[in-house]
Amino acid sequence: MTHPAIAAGMTAVITGAASGIGLAAAQALSAKGMRVALIDLPGPMLDKAAAALPGARAFAVDVSDRDGIAAAAATIAAELPPVTLLFNNAGLGIPSSALADRAAWDRTLAVNFGGILTVAQAFVPAMLAHGRPAAVINTGSKQGITLPPGNPAYNVSKAAVKAYTELLAHDLRNQPGSQVSAHLMIPGWVHTGMTAASGAPKPAGAWTAEEAVRFMLESLDRGDFYILCPDNDVTRPLDERRIAWAAGDLIENRPALSRWHPDWAEAFKRSLDGV
C-alpha cells in the first residue's frame, strides 16, 4: 500500500532536506516518482542533495524567513506539479536554560515552531485548493511530550509543534471537501548530524534516518496521526509508559516532571515493571 498523497509525478516539499531525516525522506519520495522540492539553508549539502535526485529543485531559504518561504512557495506553484506531500521537518537544537539564553530561545522557537507555522501557511491552502489527496507531516519530538530537563527551549518548541499539528488536523478534517490530512512525526533516537558529531559512528541503539523514514511512510499508509517511532534502544511499550507517566502528573497532581523528582523516582521505576 502507498498513501495516495505519495503520487508519482506530484511534488513533495521537504524542509530540512539537506541532511538527516529530511534527506532520507527526499530520497525515498524521489524513488517513488515524486518531484522533490528541497528547502534548507544555503550551502554545499543542499546543492549536493538536489544534484543527486532526478528533477529535484533546491530552495536555499531559512524556514523562519516568511518572505523567503512565500517566494519559494510561489515558484513551486508556478513551476512544479501540485504539492501533495509537505514534510515540515526543519529544526535545530541550541543549548538553553529556563531563565537565561534568550537568544537561544528566540532562534529555537523561530525555526522549530515558527518555521512549521510559516511553511504550513505558505503551502497548505494550495494543497486544499487543488483537491487531490495530500498530507502534511510535521516533525515533533518525544521531548515535546515528556519534557525531559536539559533544554527547555527545544522542549517548548516541540510541544508547540505537537499542539499545532493536532489543531491543524482537526481544522483540515472539518474543511468541506478537504482531502488533506495532518500527521505528527515523533522520531526516536536517530543518528543524524543533529544528534551526533559529523562522522561519528552510529550507536547500536540508534536508528538510521532511512529506518525512521521507512517507519514514517508505513505509518502514513495506515493513516496514523501520531507517528511514534521506536528505535533499537527504546520500544513502543517503554515510550507508552513514559508518556502515560507524564500525563499522570496532571491527573494525579504530582510535582511537575515527577519522573525526575527524587521523591517519585522509585515510583516511576516501578511503573516500568514488565516493559
- Tell me which residues are annotated as active site: 154
Query: Comparing C-alpha atoms, which of 252, 227, 225 is closest to residue 239?
Result: 227
Query: Comparing C-alpha atoms, which of 78, 33, 89 is closest to residue 56?
Result: 33
Query: Comparing C-alpha atoms, which of 275, 269, 205, 201 is closest to residue 237?
Result: 275
Cell numbers describing residue 155: 522542549
CA 144 to chain centre: 11
Q: What are the distances in angstroms from CA 121 to CA 77, 88, 131, 157, 234?
A: 14, 11, 17, 18, 34
